[in-house]
Amino acid sequence: MLTFRVEKLVPGGYGLARTERGVVLVKGALPGELVRGEPKRKKGALFLEAPEILEAHPGRYPEPLPPSADLPLAYEAQLPLKEALVRDALERVAKLEAPLAPIRPSPRPLAYRTAAQYARHPLGGLAYRLPESHELHRLEKDPLLAEPLAWAFDVLKLWPLPVEEVALRGSLLEGKVLLGLVGGGPEALKRPAKALVQEGFAGVVWAEPSPKGRFRGRVTPLAGERTLLEAFGPLKATVSVESFSQVNPLAAGALLEEARTLVFGGRRALELYAGSGLFSLLLSPRYEEVVAVEISKEAVRRGEMDRKRLGAENVRFLRMDARKAEALGAFDLVVVDPPRAGLPPEVRAYLLRARPREILYVSCDPATWARDVGALVQGGYRLAFARPYDFFPFTHHVEVLSLLRL
């Protein structure tokens, strides 16, 4: 059994400590805390997953939070830690000492999420599925949920639905919630779905469980509406319960607003990993032609709906793999917002060959962002702007908005 003090927060939300056995990564521990436990070695490193906290951080958040909230710290104390994660990645991974704009806080530290997914607990109610063990952590409430999702959570706790999981997607703009029922049979759920719409849900779909991930199998509408409109700063866009849209629309809207002010404008713009094309639609007045590339059929469908509603005739959606962007030619601006793994080698190579005047890079992982920025800087670009954004209060996750120029 080791007793030691946590030194700092590192990527992945772990506290780092240096002990006589070596570096230990501690889950849920905050910088400065004295903890005790028996670390276990996995993947070549020492991990302590359930530490006993002997001396707590003075700013440790006193109220219950869901297990996903791995940064239980007073909100104003979270921000410098997140900014430090981005700065450390820039210096350590990208080998750059470029200036970093101050982190932009979330407009709401709590009650900010407009999307969530929960397992049904065997004893009733809703539960959080722990990532590695898949154990269920039963929840009485989730303070991260925005209204009206908090209402939906309370309703669903009492409904004995024969499903594996429930998914929620709400709209702050419309004040409505969509519900996804994952597992069970669609025929048996048609009547409960209609009753749930009468209860106040805007719409209900059924989704087949899939080992490929959330909503990767069949999806069948059961009752009510399929989509809602949400405001992302200056833009209103379509969201659905199966969509991968930002879960903090107020923070995402602030990022979009700033992104619009950073770019020059020009003749052609390309957005890779476009989703439903928020950046393409936002920037369409600044460019003659905008191409949005996305692999998801559902996201492209919503993007086309928004394009037609907004009258953005110069925006074109292409359903294709971003790694094949080479075939699209040259652009004045390329926007990239990749998954946590960052840009694959093919996309980095395309950017360095096509050499757009500007690259607007939005990232949800500072380490892979810094890796890619370092490669682009070595290829002749300079990091003209970078700012962390807090999209996920009470978690270690942090978003980065950045602009590279030739």
* Choice among 84, 161, 219, 364 that is catalytic: 364
Please list, in sequence order, all residues whose beta carbon lies within 8 angstroms of the beta carbon of residue 37, skipping any fewer than 6 positions away: 1, 2, 26, 48, 50, 51, 52
Three-class SS of the chain: CEEEECCEEECCCEEEEEECCEEEEEECCCCCCEEEECCEEECCEEEECCCEEEECCCCECCCCCCCCCCCCECHHHHHHHHHHHHHHHHHHCCCCCCCCCCCECCCCCCCCECEEEEEECCCCCEEEECCCCCCEEEECCCCCECCCHHHHHHHHHCCCCCCCEEEEEEECCCCEEEEEEECCCHHHHHHHHHHHHHHCCCEEEEECCCCCCCCCCCEEEEEECCCEEEEECCEEEEECCCCCCCCCHHHHHHHHHHHHHHCCCEEEEEEECCCCCHHHHHHHHHEEEEEEEECCHHHHHHHHHHHHHHCCCCEEEEECCHHHHHHHCCCCEEEECCCCCCCCHHHHHHHHHHCCCEEEEEECCHHHHHHHHHHHHHCCCEEEEEEEECCCCCCCCCEEEEEEEC
Phi/psi of residue 302, nearest 5 degrees: -65, -40
Give yes or no: 340 in active site.
no
Q: Which residues belong to the active site?
A: 364
